[in-house]
Chains A and B, each alone.
Chain A
């Protein structure tokens, strides 16, 4: 792995530990299966609950009869909306001028608005009894017209999901810069495309799970939850159940992935604690896989109308976009935020003088959408990278050269985009160049041309992405954009790091240890990272938005810097030197230029606790807390290139090569960065090729199990050729940008570009995802019906008969 980028930041990229492929400290317990997830929590007198869910996408609840279920031996209670009047609504954290926020009760009240909406909950001594009794809850539904298609939902004649609103429109939001009308007037060509970014299910390996134990004597509620946001969950649940926040403790034990789906407050998160308070017994709920696909938030689901105004030579003059986003039936925590991130990132890594974007949120009778790996940015990257390819083809320009022509130069950074963001640092040209080189781009193009003559459909997809990470300055986020860290050097010299960014697979126990080890000159094995317990850790936000290291890590960095000042003060006092001359390294604290004057690490730390000889005003102990507020986002970027062959007879796609050159600034652990990139690409390719949450015309999810909903298996994913450039960010002292979502953002358009490129001699410009072989086959068949096969034609004549499949 060559880190061949030019280091244009001030930060030191490598230390003794930082920059090393250090094995994950988390893995021994995880791979041996000896760790504990929420469902592993067992408590005395634990009872179990099962939710009764709506089989209708839209219906009036005429009556609910719980008697039969209630009378089953072993059943403690059956609860409906009438019983939970005191329980607060499920929260939405967004505020916008015209945002419509419907009341969102934890159990449906009078109406159900999507299949799977919880209607009642059965609590029993064991999960088996609860499951059997749940089938005995008789609900009388009167079905109502179903609203599913977001474009039809906006038409006057559409049925309404909320009569009070008088519309299915949840919000509109506009973003403008430059003079779009002038851009259109000047343009030689306006390229247009309509893109569907389909609904997908995040599908974390560990489904959601909640255990709540309320102790009435102590008035203490402890919640174990498979969550990405223990502190935010604690605040919200305290409000929902009406307890003072100090009475509530949330613990996120081992969390088996989230991808944004556990960055939320769900009905079950409120109901399970409420049940424990009512019953004075611990209560557990664990989601089934079927529930996970049905009622854990979905991602994406937008329709995008895009227009790019261009000069003949490929200079972009303006971008116009209209994004219709499916909210689902209710807003979850951040539902309306996601399409706004799309609008912000639509200009991608290009200079766009005029920008005009409108986003519309639409209610439908489906599960809510919300943050899913990339959250709004994959949609933006898909939009801009797809239309860039369409434009290159229409202007007969090379996809790579056309992109490069519209990149800002490295010297133009920090660069203000058409959407008003200030990109921190980048060298797009370098990343593109490296990727082209690794892919053997020219050879791929030559083979492609030769292939067309033999009826072979080779395609090359290019995607030069940029994303927004390290979310973010508090002024630009709904719930605080800072992160907290407490670092405590214990009397034995071992270090405890408490981070507010609760990880769930990212590996912060390893990377934060590497970081602190270098700062303090000790071994990573002497550093323990504690997270995910609101009683232990200062209030924190989370890892989402690829912010774990760039914001959470920076908080740790500054907390350690505070301790270094303290250590220097104490050491100066004990060694008879100036604090400025104190050196902390290699397990010792010494004086610069005086090898004889030094103390072992353990002695100096112990001295801070025994406090028998301390300088005047020195606070005993060795602990510091820092809340880091970032000054800006960071903007990682990169180039992905994918080579495919499409079987024209069956529509099957073979991935022949996949190259990813990513730039996430400085790297703390290359192995973990590779892992994030690989997992991200797999997830992004999977959206391009396999995944789609499908509802039938009645609003029934028909991809409701993993037998129907295709998540990628090892056999589906090719080997990746990975490389990096390194452009540190000036936004934080470590120069790190974030990498958790990059692969997902870059790879989806890369794959679709490759397939559309392969089929371009047929005049095919777009096929909507997922690129199921049948869809590809039908597009080919339709195109072939319009155009003779490529062997018998020239590329030029095919171009005149362009059509959208």
Chain B
């Protein structure tokens, strides 16, 4: 498993990294390396320059910013999963993070790296979408805030420009809502065959608002808007019927492990179960 040859830089500051990124077209950013390095070893990716972000300090924070929680792009999945701040005020991201890969992957992989990779079966996108989070990208021309709904544009593609680096993720607090991330793990890769992230706000059996992000089914994670529309202002008893629309108008992906039809079916079942769980786990 030997990659093709490449140049390597390890900038100490964000500015240096941005300058390096702008200077080369065939450069790739290296954060945790748990997606990029295997791809390079299999020679599926052969960047001419690797810019290692690992030496840049101060980008792995998780902090309270009032209405939102701000997460530095280099925060590891393990840090997100264990963050008391997130678990208390916006647990969905932590619920998704603790389902990523295995312990080694969670200790090395970063939230920024995972979002930039935009793997169609990654866990974070479902949660990021359901939370209406914002992604902050930084380049030589400054910061740009990209809302989750316009960030994921396709399989392994995002709204990031070639000269931009993800620097921060901002997630709203979800006090008063129940959140659940429900995942069907691929037995080999650990990726989501289907992952459903649900945020449900409601009281005494009535759903006031709901947001559902689904990963693993289509080439890009999506919001199950048909289910959401069918549930707003409705009683909990509407969940079973509404969940059947979890994969409406979605072109489902299939592979050797799980066909498109099966993923579509799983999306419906897991959406129903996630919503029921979220409603019953709702925080006061």
Contacts and interface: CB of A to CB of B under 8 A. Distances in A.
Interface of A: 127-128, 131-132, 288-290, 649-650, 652, 689-690, 694, 702-703, 705-711, 713, 716, 772-774, 777-778
25 contacts: A132-B4, A132-B5, A289-B1, A290-B1, A690-B187, A690-B188, A694-B256, A702-B256, A703-B188, A703-B256, A705-B42, A706-B188, A708-B256, A708-B257, A710-B186, A713-B102, A716-B187, A772-B257, A772-B258, A773-B184, A773-B258, A773-B262, A774-B257, A774-B259, A777-B265
Contacts of B259: 774
Interface in B239-284: 256-259, 262, 265-266, 269
Contacts of B5: 128, 132
A777 B262 CA distance: 9
A695 to B, nearest CB: 10
B2 A650 contact: no
B1 A650 contact: no
B39 to A, nearest CB: 11
B141 interface: no
Dominant secondary structure of chain B at its interface with chain A: loop
Nearest to B270: A650
B1 A288 contact: yes
Given A128-B5, A131-B2, A777-B265, A650 B258 contact: no
Given A128-B2, A703-B256, A774 B189 contact: no
A76 to B, nearest CB: 17
Nearest to A781: B265
B2 A774 contact: no
B82 to A, nearest CB: 18
Contact of B42 (A132, A290, A713): A290
A645 to B, nearest CB: 16
Contacts of B42: 290, 705
Interface residues of B, number: 20
A778 B266 CA distance: 12
Nearest to A126: B2
Contacts of A652: 184
Given A650-B265, A703-B256, A710-B187, 5 more contacts: A703-B188, A706-B188, A711-B188, A774-B258, A774-B259
Interface string B186-200: 111100000000000
Nearest to B254: A774
A708 B188 contact: yes
Contact of A708 (B1, B4, B102, B189): B189
A694 B187 CA distance: 15
A707 B5 CA distance: 24
A774 B1 contact: no
Contacts of B2: 127-128, 131
A650 B184 contact: yes
Given A650-B266, A713-B102, A777-B262, A707 B256 contact: no
A774 B188 contact: no
B188 A710 contact: yes
B5 to A, nearest CB: 7
Interface in B186-218: 186-189
Contacts of A710: 186-188
A744 to B, nearest CB: 18
B262 A707 contact: no
B191 to A, nearest CB: 8
A694 B257 CA distance: 10
A289 B259 CA distance: 26
Contacts of A774: 257-259, 262
Nearest to A128: B2
Contact of A650 (B38, B186, B257, B269): B269
- List the 5 closest A-B pairs by CB distance, nearest first: A710-B188, A710-B187, A131-B2, A707-B189, A774-B262
A128 B1 CA distance: 10
A772 B193 CA distance: 12
Contacts of A289: 1
A711 B38 CA distance: 18
A755 to B, nearest CB: 16
Interface string B1-44: 11011000000000000000000000000000000001000100
B275 to A, nearest CB: 15
B188 A709 contact: yes
A123 to B, nearest CB: 15
A85 B24 CA distance: 49
Nearest to A712: B187
A702 B38 CA distance: 17
A674 B244 CA distance: 47
Contacts of B186: 710
A127 B1 CA distance: 10
A716 B4 CA distance: 35
Nearest to B43: A135
- Most interface-central of B186, B188, B189, B262 (chain A CB within 10 A): B188
B153 to A, nearest CB: 24
Nearest to B38: A707
Nearest to A774: B262
Nearest to B4: A132
Contacts of A690: 187-188
A196 to B, nearest CB: 16
Contact of A707 (B1, B102, B188): B188
Nearest to B187: A710
Nearest to B191: A707
Contacts of B184: 650, 652, 773
Contacts of A290: 1, 42
Nearest to A686: B187
A45 to B, nearest CB: 21
B183 to A, nearest CB: 12
Nearest to A50: B2
